[in-house]
Structure 1
Amino acid sequence: MNGWMDGCILLSKKGAEKDFKIEWNATRNLIAGKSLPIRGAIKSINRLLLEVRASVWAVLKTGQEEGALTVKKLLSFLTVAVLALSLAACSSNVGKNSNTIYEAQLTDREKMFLSIVNNKYFVFDFNVDENYKWVEIWVDRYEFGEKASVRSKLGTGLAMNEKGMLVITVNDADRMKSNWTITVESGGGTSTGRFAEEYIADEDASFSSVSGTRSSKSISIDDYEIVLAGICYKNQNAGSSMGFLTDEFFNDPDRNLREIENYDLVYLVKCKFYRNSPSQ
């Protein structure tokens, strides 16, 4: 299974990459309202997911078949397909609860496919009116309670009066490194950013993690940054228990940094919606 770590796997069917692209393009048209209703989009996505699952199973079983596709492409197809299914299923709610962002209610099937290739994932729906035209999403890294860096800030324009999605997935490449993917879906378009993250270099460390979101699932969008989710890492060799962050921390991290002082690493996923794009 070194092929997964090296970034390349072999698929079981010749031309599988082409089939994926055809199926996904058809699905995007369905979701955008250019062809069949939502039911057709869901059926199209289901076919895509079944094809991915069959290909992955063939790789696990044989490891040597025709047709190459990089792991990054495979993960992108799989993740975006799952997200599109949620977006299509919920599209009838566009216009309700304007200017809010909330944790997506995923089905068991969607959770299963996301968990196949990701150790951790966070999915959020949002509704915006015509006043908001831009969104940025990024990850802040903290070490022992102090902000160390800002990772992979992704900005993109928003479709007016549209429902969209923010998606963050984390795949642990090994015990000292993880691969992150950030995706914004809005108005039928998708923007994606990726970065690799290394933990504190200590070969003797034994990290455990706790992750999650705030308990209040719906958040009003205003002109300030929003903390969506957090992942806390701690070296278990240092002892002491682990607990997750409080809502007070999510509402105002700078005033509650004491909550993360005992963690080796903390990643906070943040976003901010803008009334104008940065170029204006």
Structure 2
Amino acid sequence: MIDIEELRRRRFRNWRQDGERKVENPEQASAFIQEVGITTLYAASPEFPSLYQAHMGDPNPPNFASWDSPSGYVYTWRWELGRPHVAFYGVVVAKKPTWVAFDRLPTVLGALMERRTPKQLYAAGELSADAYRLAQAYEGTGGLLSTKELRARGGFEKGKESRAAYLKAVDELDARLWLAKRCGMEDGGDEMSHALVTAHYSDAASAAMKLDPVEALADLLAEVIRHSVYLDPKPISRHLRIRAQTFDASLLHLEDKGVAHRQIIGNRTLYIPPNC
């Protein structure tokens, strides 16, 4: 008989949400990212840990609106972790800021990054003109532009309407994992820069494109389940924005490799390692 509450306790222990080993500061946050491989800044999905929950040692911590609060303190980690560039930082889980350890990055990109080019998607009518123009703004650069530079090169002038169009275009590129964020690079400041993944992380992107998407996703899910103890396919497929056919094929890979097996608990179908 599977004890789901015991599995949850093990998950929260691994995610530092049991109150025993809180993530106290940016140095410990960096080590935690390397340990779990992928984590959001704040809670975004029940299937992934977050730095804020780990800092509070609680799966359901209170939220605060002030800067001089635990929420405000963790928010500053964007720069404390971004300046030394301890991990990849982009929109991965549930369209929220997510940290990915560099050694897991090829697998994450291989599983989740859009493989068609902006030109191909634009020609197919699946990418807006604004997003395509923003992607083209990186031509002739090293793949890293500040927000100010990106807006200027993309032709998004000052003004409320222009800013809204720019943010929408960025969202389109973020959602396809074509952009990543770099925080606080210039003179230790807090300016945000945007990296074109195929250029700024060219080695990881090149390695990712050599991977079969289904197998890469299976490897990603195997890595996730190693720390999360069990996997609930419904929220994880939704929060990673994975097509049903690809996700189902990856789950079959997990079962074929003996990494996890299906277990119906109540009205939920979970994937659990064989030693549970």
Whether the TM-score (by the shorter chain) exceeds 0.5 is: no
Higher strand share: 1
By relative contact order (CA 8 Å, sep 6+), the higher-ranking structure is 2
